Structure 1
Amino acid sequence: MIVNVFYNEKGIGDTLIVSIQDIAREDRLFEKKDDVVRIYDEKTNELGGFNIFHASNYFTLNEAGKVELTDEKVAELNRVISEAGFSDQLEVDLTPKFVVGYVESIEKHPNADKLSICQVDVGTETLQIVCGAPNVAAGQKVVTAKVGAVMPSGLLIKPSNLRGVDSFGMLCAARELAIPDAPQEKGILILNEDAEVGATFPVAF
């Protein structure tokens, strides 16, 4: 389960937003118990997330923006959700979302001249990622944003289908990672050969 948690007291008040998946507005329903609101799909009952009001009564929150989850924070979230009377429990993937990847192979996209289909080793698995960077090539070590990553721009990386080909992540440019003085021209960031495949790549935002 990919879970992203956000808190911005100045922007939206003392509310913790727990986001699991987008649900179309016309299918979205809300169920409130105490300070917890469950957001779900009316047709499928799939869970979209929770809003937890008066969040500072339940959690110690120092962040403004994305909240970095730990096993302890997930346990606290589950406790608050359970004590409000909901049976849902969050099972969160806490593995790093920005990692060093190794481009094992690339092939041209059959339906798009400027896209390449890359097989990228991220240490624990090989991901298929469709990439539009003009400088991508086999044998490179690159910054890979896995599904569930939140980019500095706020973009959430999700599984996607680009011109008929499935893609499970993104190969990142320096400017997309908000690296100071990053070049503005198109192209992914190529890492040094000694970068360890699967290692966490630090993204500060």
Structure 2
Amino acid sequence: MQTTQDDAAGYTAGAKIFHWLTALLMTGSFLLAVIMVELPLGPLKIDLYNWHKTVGLTILALAVLRLAWRLRHPPPPMPANMATWERLAAHAAHLGLYLFLFSQPLVGLVMSWASGFPTILFGSFILPNPIGTDQALFDTLSAVHFWSAWVLLTLIALHAGAALRHHFIKKDTVLRRMLPQARR
């Protein structure tokens, strides 16, 4: 397939760093969540919960920086041969991913505050709790955080699947534009 100039344009180095660092941290956060919920209550479980919170708030900070970066560095145009439905689906998926990059850590943080357990970041900094223990709020946000994680995993799978479809089936440059070696 012949590529156009628009097809060949890659993402900026900053966008790639934010993308892959977020992907790495999201993977770590999900792995911590899967492991920590199965452990009996004890020091290891509490440590893993606090590292999960640290990673989550780091993702939130990166999402803020990432959005600021994106507002100043627009993404390259989509390939000219993309169908309208593909463009709409891509925009909807990216909007959903950004929504969850912000909402999931915030819901988790408020849930943590409502639990009554202290939030210890990076193993040493105790985050102040402005709301105190609230079991009903904790229960509600716990369910929201759990189900939102599954929605987020679904969006991530669709995002990755679409990138792979573009690479292996459509044989365009959509995936290569975000890979570290592709330059802009």
Q: Which structure carries more relative contact order (alpha carbon 8 Å, separation 6+)?
A: 2
Higher strand share: 1
TM-score, normalisation: structure 2: 0.24
Higher helix share: 2
TM-score, normalisation: structure 1: 0.22
